[in-house]
Amino acid sequence: MFKKILIANRGEIACRVAATARRLGIKTVAVYSEADANARHVAVCDEAVLLGPAAAKESYLRGDKIIAVAKATGAEAIHPGYGFLSENAEFADACHEAGLVFIGPPASAMRAMGSKSAAKSLMEKASVPLVPGYHGDNQDADFLQTQADRIGYPVLLKASAGGGGKGMRVVESSEAFRDALASCKREAISSFGDDKVLAEKYLQRPRHIEIQVFADTHGNCIHLFERDCSVQRRHQKVLEEAPAPGMTAERRAAMGEAAVAAAKAVGYVGAGTVEFIANQDGSFYFMEMNTRLQVEHPVTEMITGADLVEWQLRVAAGEPLPKKQHELAINGHAIEARVYAENPEKGFLPSIGTLRHLGTPDAVNFELGGIPGHPAGVRIDAGVREGDAISPFYDPMIAKLIVWGADRKQALARMAQALSQYQIVGLASNIAFLNRLVQGEAFATADLDTGLIERNHDALFPAAQPAASGALALAAVALIEAEKDRSAAQSGANAADPWGQALGWRMNQPYVRKLSFADDYAAGLPSKAYGVEVTYLNDGWMFNLSGSEASPQLLTLMSQQGADISVKLGDTAVHGSVRRDGELFHVFTNGLHYTLHYNDPMAHAGESEAEGGRLTAPMPGKVVAVLAEKGKEVKKGDALVIMEAMKMEHTIAAPHDGVVDDVLYAVGDQVADGAPLLAFRAA
């Protein structure tokens, strides 16, 4: 076995590989970019070497530098993780030439599977079932259209060199073919530097089912069952599970055999995934092979008890596979959810920022003995810690949340519970969306297909609900109690002096205070304002929501420990935690996350209001949402236009109450830096 390896990746997968290496007593070398100097993967490895600037092209994709670092630090092998150089055959060759072991398949197998077209030709010869289509060399537009007509619409065009859900176009009719082909080729050349495409029958309501394969250098090639990754957005996976619901032993054996045949056809070694697209009747076709460890490999680990990274290391070191096919069995059910910094309400646009607060569910810490497959309930594979930033340079994944259950029902319940305990403050995340998704009927009943999210759009994107009074009560109590702490600290020796304190205590008459909150308009949803009236009593408050029918209720603080607060509102006990981030109060209660904007009367006292707000584009970019309407009155802070630039969103909000006189751009328009976006008149 190796004594030292270099991990040529970042984020959760670099941490994941390091964890197994540590368990096996193998030293690790991390590499990092300038943006990642304080990243978690740097901290968990034994050594770390800077590669270069943030851009992947100048750091994580610099194969030459990475090899030089491996030589200089005495690493014997390089683990590429996934993404970046993991499927780069030239890099694998270069490692070999430098006398280093590339922990992955032979370069020849990567080349054979690198092109979806060439891979399909190979699979045809190995008698692996294929989706009807054309995957030959003839790229003449007329010819391709004839092929599409023959296949029958809808047809799916794919970039041969594509990946990550990019470079695909669904074509509904012969008339629409030319435009779709042109746009597919444009995206293919710009994303992959190769405009070759293939055409396939576009299946209706298919499922994505993939098989984990493993081969060693001693001629053994086996599979570790399937994963269902049907729940996708933009052809990218969101939820993955193993085993696949509804899978029969016969079908599993048939798919496993087909996958092993595919791997053998290219002389595969190491971990790989053969992806199939399956009809609802169970018939399945080869889609592509990913020649690396997959993002969703943990669900396989949880049901088999195998540490796939350990297997990779053993195979790369020349050892035989730790297990034979007949020694493997499925134990229970596992589900993975990809926790992303993104905004599902805005078309899953990535969001960036600092993780000001990260509260995770009770989980097995993978590094501290959370052996994969151990029926431990909840596992989190993360690449970031509280205080870390999600930058615009890399994938916006925050973590992978993986649960295990004796059956699917238990796994689902654990997933819902874990998601309810997940707290993220500082950037938009898909936590609430994931929770609706796993609790929604379609996923709960395993009514799976790749269109699940679109089909259930209304249930998954419900209209914004007004904040619950319990959430507002928690925010109010957090605010008042924090003031008390501050005033106690300030008054020091005069602590006994009631006049020196901000306890709200007044002589003779009850003190009534009006607090004003609003939904956070940054979410792009219509914002609602809440007037909370609190009347100070000796041992609590009277709580009244202005404009609400409900009569005032007695509010008392039951307990408070840090951010965790329990109150009694009327007859109801409300538990939750409140995190303040400037003017934003993040209230986590009842499995929900409310972001409330506190209109602090003190914060703006004395601030002079600037006359003309900058209703111009803050940088060159694309308009992704127009919330303003011509002629409509808006309130200060209302979101008017949302722009996207550098994978990042910028909200242009109303600087004052006023009227929008004109909207100058539409969704999808490119705008130049400083371009006026709206004509706005202050009230």
Has 292 been annotated as catalytic?
Answer: yes
Q: How far is the CB of 284 from ligand ADP (least distance, A)?
A: 11
Is residue 131 close enough to count as binding ligand ADP by CB under 6 A?
yes
Encode burial over 96-135: b for 16+ CB neighbours within 10 A, e otherwise.
eeeebbbbbbbbebbbbbbbbbbbbebbeeeebebbebbb
C-beta closer to ligand ADP: residue 158 or 185: 158
Is residue 244 close enough to count as binding ligand ADP by CB under 6 A?
no
Contact partner at residue 110 from ligand ADP, Mg ion, none, CB < 5 to 8 Å by partner kind: none
Binding pattern to ligand ADP, positions 248-287, x when CB under 6 A? Answer: ---------------------------x-x---------x
Q: Are 636 and 683 in contact (CB under 8 A)?
A: no
Number of residues that bind ligand ADP (CB under 6 A): 33
C-beta closer to Mg ion: residue 159 or 654: 159
Is residue 135 close enough to count as binding ligand ADP by CB under 6 A?
no
Is residue 288 close enough to count as binding ligand ADP by CB under 6 A?
yes
Please give the structure tokens belonging to residue 132. Answer: 């009807």
Distance of CA 586 to the CA centre of its chain: 20
- Residue 412 vs residues 93, 224, 320, 349, 522: alpha-carbon distances, Å: 43, 22, 36, 26, 31
SS3 assignment for 481-531: HHHHHHHHHHHHHHCCCHHHCCCCCCCCCCCEEEEEEEECHHHCCCCCEEE
Q: How far is the CB of 404 from Mg ion (least distance, A)?
A: 25
Q: Are 28 and 45 in contact (CB under 8 A)?
A: yes
Amino acid at 567: V
Choose the stretch contacting ligand ADP; rule: CB under 6 A; options: 4-12, 303-311, 473-481, 572-580. 4-12
C-beta closer to Mg ion: residue 275 or 388: 275
Is residue 295 close enough to count as binding ligand ADP by CB under 6 A?
yes
Q: How far is the CB of 450 from Mg ion (least distance, A)?
A: 11
In the region spanning residues 300 to 319, those forming contacts with ligand ADP, defined by CB under 6 A, are: none
Is residue 33 close enough to count as binding ligand ADP by CB under 6 A?
no
In the region spanning residues 391 to 430, those forming contacts with ligand ADP, defined by CB under 6 A, are: 394-395
Check 40, 207, 252, 292 and give the catalytic one: 292
State residue 487 phi and psi, 5-degree precision.
Answer: -70, -35
604/593 Cα distance (integer angstroms) = 26
Choose the stretch contacting ligand ADP; rule: CB under 6 A; options: 22-30, 45-53, 81-89, 552-560. 81-89
C-beta closer to ligand ADP: residue 397 or 628: 397
Is residue 237 close enough to count as binding ligand ADP by CB under 6 A?
yes
Q: How far is the CB of 359 from ligand ADP (least distance, A)?
A: 24
Binding pattern to Mg ion, positions 265-294, x when CB under 5 A? Answer: ----------x-------------------
State residue 662 phi and psi, 5-degree precision.
Answer: -160, 145
110/112 Cα distance (integer angstroms) = 5
State residue 504 phi and psi, 5-degree precision.
Answer: 85, 5
- The alpha carbon dihedral of 466, 470, 471, 476 has a sign of positive
Of 680, 622, 618, whose CA–CA distance to 655 is shortest? 680
Is residue 104 close enough to count as binding ligand ADP by CB under 6 A?
no
Q: Are 252 and 210 in contact (CB under 8 A)?
A: no
Is residue 617 close enough to count as binding ligand ADP by CB under 6 A?
no
State residue 174 phi and psi, 5-degree precision.
Answer: -60, -35
User: In the beta sheet, which residues pair with residue 171?
Assistant: 155
* Site of interaction with ligand ADP (CB under 6 A): 9-11, 13, 81-83, 131, 156, 158, 162-165, 200-203, 206, 208, 232, 235, 237, 275, 277, 287-288, 290, 294-295, 394-395, 450
Residues that bind Mg ion (CB under 5 A): 275
Task: Write out the catalytic residue numbers.
Answer: 292
